[in-house]
Structure 1
Amino acid sequence: MTMTTAAGETTTRNLALAIDIGGTKAEAALVDDAGVVLAASRFRRPTGPTASSDDLAAAVLSVLGSALAALPADATLLGVGIGSAGPISVADGLVSPLNLPVWRDYPLRQLVIDAVPGVPVTLRMDGECIALAEHWVGAAVGYQNVMGMIVSTGVGGGLILQGSAIAGPSGNAGHIGHVEVGGFDDPCLCGGIGCVEAVASGPKTVAWANRQGWVGATGEDLAVAYAAGDPIAIAAVERSGRAIGQAIASATALNDLDIVAIGGGFSRVTPDLFRFIREAIAKRDWDFVTKVQVVPSALSDAGPLIGSAALVHRADLVA
């Protein structure tokens, strides 16, 4: 897309193709170097635990192809950034999203390389992408020690420490969803007991409420019940917030974080979720833990795509 500068010079808009893959959807869009998603290029397809491997691959290729077809003829495509639910293997380009059981060591990066030949493709965990997005244009602008979190179908996270995104040797650094939190005995698909994902994700919070006698089916139902004062819904959200807060306190003790920005559909179940998170953190005695700010994402549901694009536009921060 061609633009004219104040000096009358003509420039070409540089774009990244961003892909986000999680437990409920695959999504793709074009994103410019200011972190703006081109709305007409944004496409999504459902995923889910009952989809076959071929279904998931078809969903990725569908949204990728539709977004790519929206690329203006005079724009420059700098690269493709992929954010995937974890765990992943960065070195091999493989993904094994816990909530997509048919994909174990699936060659996602190669699938995309084959679909967009000649264009650089970068794969990282979705939590790292969230951290990059918030640090770039979101709630964590100006902070150097950041955790980005997703609380949705699963719970994910990523780290920026001293201004650099930290992937770790396998690409799974910051995967806070599988930190175990005290006082909970919920079994996790990863094999752990009391992992924050097993306690505090949207589906797991709903399942706990159901076991207490609540009859709703979704996080949206839980939000309505919470707003109406249903005591089980309130207890369920408080429980989720307490688990998330404990995990953030531990992560802050380990990494001396300045700020944690949380996005994802279930993070919006009620603003009180953040109060419960902060109350759990405030029980610690150490100032370097209780100082951490916990804030909602400033990017709504565009954060994962913006973060995937940051793998291209902010490549200097990506280890």
Structure 2
Amino acid sequence: MDVYLIFDMGGTSVKYACGDEEGCLKDTGSFPTPSDGLEAMLDEMRRVFDSVKEKITGIALSSPGAVDPVKGIVGGISAIPYIHEIPLTERISRRLDGLPVTIENDGNCSALGELWKGAAAGKRNIVSVVCGSGIGGSIVINGTVC
């Protein structure tokens, strides 16, 4: 079974876990969101990756901002200014042994997680609000993020 290293990037901290396709999470933890730029963030991600890399087949990112999952770029603004308008997934992939990296907006990730395994399991239409260092959210209609 494939195992992914998941990073949930927030303005205060970055949470992480190893997760499989069944939604089982292991090796959970967090580190403070680096304030001194992307290289410090990549160094922390590499530190986590090195502790679990023998079982990882890909990387999943939950990111604040206007995420373009196809291009792997975060637009707009967020509490992590240095992740915007750069080829973020490409940079992370290069630092983490070339593994594939997927990215999605954190509000969308939250809504999809609730639909899959959480309080909204079995529902088709929900509104999800995320409150942390910033405020975000997602609307799901007929099982699809709008």
Give unmatched runs, 5+ long, in structure 1: 1-12, 167-319
Q: Please list, as runs of the form range in 1=range in 2, the aligned pairs for 1:206-225 lying within 5 A after superposition.
A: none
Q: What secondary structure is seen at the aligned counterpart in 2 of 1:42?
A: strand
Query: Pick from 116, 129, 145: which aligns with 2:96?
Result: 116
Deviation at 1:91, TM superposition (A): 3.6
Question: Within 5 A, what are the aligned runs for 1:36-51?
Answer: 36-38=24-26, 40-47=27-34, 51=35
Kindly tell me: are residues 160 and 16 of structure 1, through their superposed partners in 2, closer, same or farther at Cα, counting changes over 3 Å? farther
Superposition pairs of residues 61-100 of structure 1, within 5 angstroms: 61-62=43-44, 64-71=45-52, 73=54, 75=55, 77-96=56-75, 97-100=77-80
Q: How many residues of Structure 1 are paired with residues of Structure 2 in the alignment?
A: 145
User: 2 CA distance for matches of 1:81 and 1:30?
Assistant: 10
1:150 aligns to what SS in structure 2?
strand
CA distance in 2, matches of 1:159, 1:61: 34
Partner of 2:81: 101
Alignment deviations for residues 232-259 of structure 1 (CA, whole Å, 9 cap, x no partner): xxxxxxxxxxxxxxxxxxxxxxxxxxxx
In structure 2, the gaps of 5 or more residues are none
Partner of 1:270: none
Instruction: Give, as a single letter, the amino acid of the residue that structure 2 aligns with 1:126.
Output: D
Q: Is this contact kept in 2: 1:149–1:156, CA < 8 A?
A: yes
8 Å contact from structure 2 (residues 4, 60) kept in 1: yes
Secondary structure class of the residue paired with 1:106: coil
Specify the structure having the higher radius of gyration (Cα). 1
TM-aligned CA deviation for residue 65 of structure 1 = 2.3
In the superposition, relative to structure 1, how do residues 72 and 91 fare at CA in structure 2: closer, same or farther (>3 Å)? closer
Name the structure 2 match of 1:53.
37
User: By percentage of residues, which structure has more helix?
Assistant: 1
Structure with the higher strand share, 1 or 2: 2
- Post-superposition offset of 1:52: 3.2
Q: Which residue is 1:142 aligned to?
A: 122
Which deviations, in whole Å up to 9, do the C-alpha atoms of 1:117-168 show, x marking residues without a partner? 44321111111110111111111100111232211211111233222344xx
* 1:34 counterpart (2, 6, 22): 22
One-letter code aligned to 2:41: A
Whichever residue aligns with residue 133 of structure 1, its letter is G
Check the 8 A contact 2:15/2:28 in 1, yes or no: no
CA contact (8 A) 2:7 2:60 kept: yes
For 2:30, the aligned partner's letter is: F
SS at match of 2:52: coil
- Which residue, out of 124, 138, 143, partners 1:163? 143
Partners of 2:117 and 2:36 in 1: how far apart?
36
TM-score (norm 2): 0.81
Tell me if the contact between 1:41 and 1:67 (Cα under 8 Å) persists in the aligned partners. Answer: no
| 3-state SS of paired residue (1:71) | helix
Alignment match, 2:2? 14
| Structure 1 residue 131 corresponds to structure 2 residue 111 | yes
CA distance in structure 1 between the aligned counterparts of 2:65 and 2:142, rounded to whole angstroms: 24
